[in-house]
């Protein structure tokens, strides 16, 4: 499958998870931001990365994503 299709499916699955407050975690929110970035939705990705940072102690990698507004693995 092309990466775009897989990312789109991942986005849909993660959106369902994100809508259930009890399933929300900093890691899941960060990963959702990663998916959005890969789908060229960088502004929305940044919003989710910032939300992830508020939900838990942000890693240095997450801080870097937010600062640079860029995806890093």
**Over the chain, what HEC string results?**
CCHHHHHHHHHHHHHHHHHCHHHCCHHHHHHHHHHHHHCCCHHHHHHHHHHHHHHCCCCHHHHHHHHHCCCCC
pLDDT at 56: 87
Tens digit of each residue's pLDDT (9 = 90 or more) over 12-66: 766 666 666 666 789 989 988 998 999 899 999 999 999 999 998 999 999 999 9
pLDDT at 5: 54
């Amino acid at each position: 499958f092309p990466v775009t299709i897989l990312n789109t499916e991942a986005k849909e699955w993660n959106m369902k998870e994100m809508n259930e407050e009890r399933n929300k975690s900093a890691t899941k929110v960060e990963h959702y931001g990663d998916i959005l970035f890969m789908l060229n939705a960088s502004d929305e990705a940044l919003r989710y990365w910032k939300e992830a940072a508020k939900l838990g102690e942000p890693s240095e990698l997450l801080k870097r994503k937010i600062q640079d507004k860029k995806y890093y693995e």
